Every structure is written in structure tokens, then in C-alpha cells.
Amino acid sequence: MSQTQVVILGSGTPNADPDRVSASLAVVVAGQPYLVDCGHGAVQRVVEARAVGKIDWDTTDLTRLFVTHLHADHTVGLPDLLYTPWIHEREAGLQAIGPLGLADMARHIELAYRENIREHLSAHPSSREGYKIVVREVAGGCVYEDDKVTVQALEANHGDLAALSYKFETPDGTIVVSGDTKPVARFAEWARGCDLLLHEVYSARQFTFRPPAWQAYHSRTHTSSDELAALATAVRPKRLVLVHQLFWGQTPAQLVAEVQRAYPGEVISASDLDVFELTPVWSGGMKTIMR
């Protein structure tokens, strides 16, 4: 039984979608979730995943957060992540790692919810720590280490917004999460040979029908299916998982086919609540997927 999974909480984008909440996933090692981003609905998806038996941990275990960048579709769930698990009697606060600006965001959220915090502290028997957030702003390199994971960050290229990709080195293998980014020269070498590459993507085919101003924006901030095929060919991940998909009318199968036009490896288009499991290296490295 693998002790490492990736749980897709939200595979969506800023564009509202009835089936996809915005960006969030959990790398889970030996029952400890390490959240990457917290778009809207992240906490709700944790509750759903537990209710249907996909996870055996709960919201009170959400104490580690890695933020790729400060766009709302990756952070708007942060107040929910701070205050809902607190109601659920989370004992510890949140340790958050992310780019420049995250500390300011956290400080302002705490100010905005000052009355909620004041009343709750005086009226409820909850932990005195469970609502707090401690932020460490990083720019790259080794950003976190404990007895289960080592986490490396790489500077991403998401326009003029500070942005990071993360690499989780676990006992069962290596997981790379791109965050929002256009292709970065150093990425392929940094991520090479990873077990699971979770990468953002937009449809190169549908891009040609987009208004020129949006074409300009997406080409300088995101990764097309053609660019991802080239990148994945260089990275050679054991499995490529598409997240934060800008389908623009394509089906998931069509988007996968776009990538596979120039990339022969396995490609999966993620949906919310998909679980990707890494089997232990001692079992021969054979990876399985549970969806």
C-alpha cells in the first residue's frame, strides 16, 4: 500500500465551472496532507473526499500550505482554510510558504476577520492556535523539509506576478506541480524523471479562436498543449496529469489528444477528487492510479 497520494481538490481556473472548483491539490504522505494552493471550494472538496472514502484524514490535518502565486483562483479559499478547520477543532495553525506578497495577504485576511476571531476566541472552546497563520516568503531552492518530504521551489514565469513551481520528494517518488506558468528554461532539468508531473495547460487548437488581447495574455503567462508536449518530452515524467485546464470548448479527451500529438507518454486530464497513487519504490516502481 502506497503511503503517498495526490488528491486533486480543484482542477479549475478563474472561469466558473459547475464541475470544477479552482486550483488546489493535496500531496499526501503517510496521512499528512501538504496543500498546494487553495482556490475556492478546497475545504469543501476535502470534506467530500472524506465522505466518499477517498481519504482518511480531514480538515483538521490541513496545517501545511504551499502557494504557487497570489491569483484569486489559487488563494481565495485561504480564509476558509484558516477558519473552517478551526471550527472543526484543528489544534495547530497553518504554516504557509509562498511568494512575495503572501505575508501581506495573510495579515489582511486576519484583519478582515478580526471580529470573527475575537468572538470565536471568547465564545468557543476551540484551540487558541488553530486559526493562526505563519507565512514564510520564498523565491526558490529548498523551501521545506520534515521527516516525510523535502520540497523544492523553482521560480515560474507567470507574467509579472511572483510565481513558483514545487517539487515534492517523498519516500515513494517525486511529484512536481507547475502552478501557473509559461514554459521556463530550467524547468525540464529541474523536474526530469519525476514520477508525477501535474501541469497547467491551455488548448493550442482553441487558442487560435481567442481574441487577440487574450492570445497575448495567455501566451505570455500560461502553457499551451503544444508547449507542454515539448516540455514533457524533455522532462520524461512517468505520468503527466493535466490540471488547471483551459479547454475553451475542447473535451478532456481532445485536450489529451492535443498533447499526445507530439508526446508519446501517458497523459491524464484530471478531474476534481481524482486520486493519483504512488506505489513504494521497493515494489519495483510500478505506479498505479486510483480514480
CA distance 9 to 34: 12
Which of residues 71, 148, 182, 205 is near Zn ion by CB under 5 A? 71
Residue with smaller CB distance to Zn ion, 2 or 165: 165
CA distance 145 to 101: 22
37 touches Zn ion by CB under 5 A: no
Burial 44-75 (b: 16+ CB within 10 A, else e): bbbebbeeeebbebebbbbbbbbbbbbbebbb
The CA–CA distances, whole Å, from 207 to 183, 202, 222 equal 16, 8, 11
Give min distance, CB of 158 to Zn ion, in A: 6
Residue with smaller CB distance to Zn ion, 76 or 262: 76
Query: With contacts defined by CB under 5 A, how many residues of the chain interact with Zn ion?
Result: 3
Binding marks (x or -) toward Zn ion, 236..265, rule CB under 5 A? Answer: ------------------------------
CA distance 265 to 245: 18
CA distance 179 to 164: 7
73 touches Zn ion by CB under 5 A: yes
Phi and psi based region of residue 100 (left: phi greater than 0; alpha: psi -120 to 50; beta: remaining): beta
Q: Which stretch binds Zn ion (CB under 5 A): 55-63, 64-72, 148-156, 262-270?
A: 64-72
Residue with smaller CB distance to Zn ion, 23 or 229: 23
Give min distance, CB of 176 to Zn ion, in A: 17
Residue with smaller CB distance to Zn ion, 71 or 148: 71
272 touches Zn ion by CB under 5 A: no
Binding marks (x or -) toward Zn ion, 156..195, rule CB under 5 A? Answer: ------------------------x---------------
CA distance 280 to 285: 7
- Positions that interact with Zn ion (CB under 5 A): 71, 73, 180
